């Protein structure tokens, strides 16, 4: 649901396309510099290990070592600042065979997962119920011998509940088809397995009334990452071929396990029809680039009107019956006058013709396939091995992650507050909350002051922007209640979950149902604006337009982003930039459509709206001209990445402005030992080093089509090419790569 939660995630990076030939002298100089750098790093680390060091000295020394190791001092910062900032990191790090990408974000997540492994594997007498359940779930995931022993049995039982898989059944057409109902199957997939196939029906905050929840109807997700995989050549075609083979292989395995006679040609034929159906569904979906204006997507109507506008004609598809089927799982009654918001009108207009072409068995085969593909990773090794070629085509990976990492990630994703509480108890310094809150106020103030500089925005719109900025609510670190032993709220959150150490697959199904029900129940509840949208043990940050709220989980409040003992230049260039980025999301091409209370409302004058689009167009062209060789020479989509590019550009600008103001009040900071760089230069260096990373070509091809962020390199290059202050600090002449004549600016 990109419309509701903008987020800053790890993003892609392009590799250098070639190397210049170096002279003998240049090579000698480079080797000398490298040896000097290594010696300096060793001295810094040795110095830092002294017991006599204060915390400030220790973290200053660590920061120096990290910065020196990550950078490439032989690169020209005015030609390629990304190489200058990240060249050392890129040379030192090889992408693990288990990873599709490897970046500083990934290393932080790796370290976080090690901490979570420790807390999940340690039992304490008197553990609260939420902790006990998280540890049981983790143990069930780690019980590989039992998972191997049970093999496909748990999946076969789930298929029976879901109405069976025709391709793996001897007599589905005779025994099941007569009573088959598409409304019933879609509603069961949604409410029982939290799988929204063919039609994406969910409950979320009403964009036009942020105090209430409403039903949304939208185009669905697909089995492959994006619609491009169904039509394009190259890496996309290779993935498509592997996907079909994956389908066929799994269907054959299930037939065999059910003792249905082998018929390879039948299976190939049936799954080819499924692929054909999904390709038509993909073709009917609207490309992401055309879904950026949330105000155009929003169409409110009653269920009765929905039925009149979109009679899908699979024996007269009944929208009320379908939606009531979903909502009855949580005992909520809907009537024909129930209001819904339809986001996917173009898709629904095409859906009738598509599903009318296919038999009940083909549609059921597709529904079950979408259930099965998600559960393969929960089964025995032979099922996980069956997806190896498809995984390689999508991600470029040849090995799976260590089992404990998969289990830690799963438990953290599904019990985020319980795991977050254990993580915070283990690692988080409470004082960080106050310091980050202070940084937020400084950067918010910088944004409000920046409004005065803007010539393209009139006074009435500036005043509304000020009001919205001042109304932004923040959540930092973790919700307090998760650490309060006497507060039963955390245990109550998981009261309906009952896990067994011996039933990993069933535990997953339990989580799926609980997740679906938790969301659906909200339809008749008022929106709780104090609820956290993410757990504490997450290396990320978020902005919610429906809440006008920024969130900084405990997991991101660590170096290189933040440490109370490291120089403020690094804090402002790290978490300060992230804070600025999330604040600016409230004013990007999506966030600007919402007011200070989180309601979709046009608070812009015609003059300001027109000029916002004009300023944004500059960024669309700038980023759209970046060619990413790693993704087969495709250009970045300036439209799909616009919101994130606006946030990146505005975020670093506001953070730098706030840092300059801090310097005015506090005075200059002492230089870092061994680095002949000013603290203004360190600000930009830390900003860039946050985004050091590299990607496999297969995943680059995926990311350029699915990720709303620009590739890592261009997040750095694009933001700094537009920022005059950067060129001044590094003394870049006009006309150099990092100081182009034409610059773009929105905020």
- Which domains are present in the chain? 6-94+440-479+532-729 (3.40.390.10), 154-378 (1.10.1380.10)
User: Using an 8 Å Cβ cutoff, are 645 and 619 in contact?
Assistant: yes
d(CA 323, CA 302): 12
pLDDT band at 61 (very low <50, low <70, confident <90, very high): confident
Angle at 325 between CA 379 and CA 224, to 5 degrees: 40
What number of residues does the chain have? Answer: 747
| pLDDT > 90? residue 662 | yes
pLDDT band at 245 (very low <50, low <70, confident <90, very high): very high
User: Using an 8 Å Cβ cutoff, are 711 and 14 in contact?
Assistant: yes
Q: Cα dist. 553→388, 389, 416, 532, 586 in Å?
A: 34, 36, 11, 10, 18
What 3 state SS string does 165-178 have? CHHHCCCHHHHCHH
Q: How buried is residue 130: exposed, middle or buried, by Cβ count under 10 Å (0-12/13-18/19+)? A: buried
- Catalytically active residues are 582, 648
* Residue that wins the pLDDT comparison between 667 and 538: 538
d(CA 679, CA 337): 62
Q: What would the pLDDT profile of 512-536 be if each residue is shown by its tens digit?
A: 999 999 999 999 999 999 999 999 9
Q: What percent of the chain has pLDDT over 70?
A: 93
Q: Cα dist. 501→136, 140, 247, 506 in Å?
A: 5, 4, 30, 10
d(CA 69, CA 63): 10
User: Using an 8 Å Cβ cutoff, are 582 and 643 in contact?
Assistant: no
| Per-residue confidence (pLDDT) for residue 660, from 0 to 100 | 98
Q: What would the pLDDT profile of 255-269 be if each residue is shown by its tens digit?
A: 999 999 999 999 999
Can you say whether the dihedral through the CA atoms of 322, 328, 330, 331 is positive or negative?
positive
pLDDT band at 314 (very low <50, low <70, confident <90, very high): low
Q: Are strands 541-544 and 6-8 parallel, antiparallel or unpaired?
A: antiparallel
Specify the DSSP element, H or E, that contains 477.
strand 473-477
| pLDDT > 90? residue 20 | no
Specify the DSSP element, H or E, that contains 317.
none
């Amino acid at each position: 649901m990109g419309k509701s939660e903008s987020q800053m995630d790890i993003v892609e990076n392009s590799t250098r396309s070639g190397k210049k030939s170096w002279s003998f002298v240049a090579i000698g100089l480079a080797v000398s510099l490298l040896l000097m750098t290594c010696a300096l790093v060793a001295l810094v680390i040795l110095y830092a290990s002294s017991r006599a060091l204060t915390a400030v000295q220790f973290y200053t020394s660590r920061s120096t070592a990290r910065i020196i190791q990550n950078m490439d001092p032989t690169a020209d910062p005015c030609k390629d600042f990304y190489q200058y900032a990240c060249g050392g990191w890129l040379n030192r790090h090889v992408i693990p065979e288990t990873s599709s990408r490897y970046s500083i974000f990934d290393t932080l997540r790796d370290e976080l997962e090690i901490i979570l492994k420790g807390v999940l594997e340690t039992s304490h007498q008197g553990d609260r119920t939420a902790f006990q359940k998280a540890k049981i779930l983790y143990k069930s995931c780690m019980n590989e011998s039992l998972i191997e022993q049970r093999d496909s049995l748990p999946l076969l039982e789930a298929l029976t509940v879901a109405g069976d898989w025709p391709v793996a059944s001897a007599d589905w057409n005779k025994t099941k088809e007569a009573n088959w109902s598409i409304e019933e199957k879609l509603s069961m997939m949604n409410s029982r397995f939290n799988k929204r196939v063919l039609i994406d029906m969910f409950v979320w905050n009403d964009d036009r009334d942020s105090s209430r929840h409403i039903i949304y109807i939208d185009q669905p997700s697909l089995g492959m990452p994006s619609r491009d995989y169904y039509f394009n050549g190259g890496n996309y075609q290779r993935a498509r071929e592997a996907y079909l083979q994956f389908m066929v292989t799994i269907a054959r395995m299930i037939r065999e396990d059910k003792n249905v006679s082998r018929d390879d040609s039948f299976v190939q034929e049936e799954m080819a029809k499924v692929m054909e159906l999904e390709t038509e569904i993909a073709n009917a979906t609207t490309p992401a680039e055309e879904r950026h204006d949330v105000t155009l997507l929003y169409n409110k109507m009653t269920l009765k009107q929905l039925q009149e506008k979109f009679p899908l004609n699979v024996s007269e598809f009944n929208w009320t019956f379908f939606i009531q089927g979903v909502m009855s799982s949580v005992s909520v009654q809907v009537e024909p006058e129930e209001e819904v918001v339809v986001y996917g009108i173009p898709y629904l207009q095409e859906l009738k013709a598509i599903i009318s072409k296919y038999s009940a068995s083909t549609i059921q085969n597709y529904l079950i396939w979408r259930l099965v593909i998600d559960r393969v990773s929960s089964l025995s090794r032979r099922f996980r091995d069956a997806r190896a070629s498809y995984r390689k085509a999508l991600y470029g990976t040849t090995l799976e992650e260590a089992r404990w990492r998969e289990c830690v990630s799963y438990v953290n994703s599904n019990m985020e507050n319980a795991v977050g509480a254990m993580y915070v108890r283990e690692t988080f310094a409470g004082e960080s909350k106050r310091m980050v809150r202070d940084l937020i106020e400084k950067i918010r103030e910088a944004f409000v002051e920046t409004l005065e500089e803007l010539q393209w925005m009139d006074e009435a719109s500036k005043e509304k922007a000020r009001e919205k900025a001042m109304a932004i609510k923040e959540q930092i670190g973790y919700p307090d209640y998760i650490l309060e032993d006497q507060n039963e709220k955390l245990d109550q959150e998981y009261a309906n979950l009952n896990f067994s150490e011996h039933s990993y697959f069933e535990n997953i199904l339990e989580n799926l149902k609980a997740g679906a029900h938790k969301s659906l129940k909200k339809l008749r509840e008022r929106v709780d604006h104090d609820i956290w949208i993410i757990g504490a043990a997450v290396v990320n940050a978020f902005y919610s337009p429906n809440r006008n709220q920024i969130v900084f989980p405990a997991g991101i409040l660590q170096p290189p982003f933040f440490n109370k003992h490291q120089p403020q230049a690094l804090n402002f260039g790290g978490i300060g930039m992230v804070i600025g980025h999330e604040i600016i999301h409230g004013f990007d091409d999506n966030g600007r459509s919402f007011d200070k209370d989180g309601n979709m409302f046009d608070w812009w004058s015609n003059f300001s709206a027109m000029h916002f689009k004009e300023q944004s167009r500059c960024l669309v062209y700038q980023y759209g001209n970046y060619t990413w060789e790693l993704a087969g020479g495709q250009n970045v989509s300036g439209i799909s990445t616009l919101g994130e590019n606006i946030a990146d550009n505005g975020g670093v600008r506001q953070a730098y402005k706030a840092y300059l103001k801090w310097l005015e009040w506090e005075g200059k900071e002492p230089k870092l030992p061994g680095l002949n760089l000013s603290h203004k230069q360190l600000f930009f260096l830390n900003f860039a080093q946050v985004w050091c990373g590299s990607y496999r070509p297969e995943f680059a091809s995926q990311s350029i089509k699915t990720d709303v962020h620009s590739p890592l390199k261009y997040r750095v290059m694009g933001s700094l090419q537009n920022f005059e202050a950067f060129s001044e600090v590094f003394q870049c002449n006009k006309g150099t790569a990092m100081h182009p004549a034409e610059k773009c600016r929105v905020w």
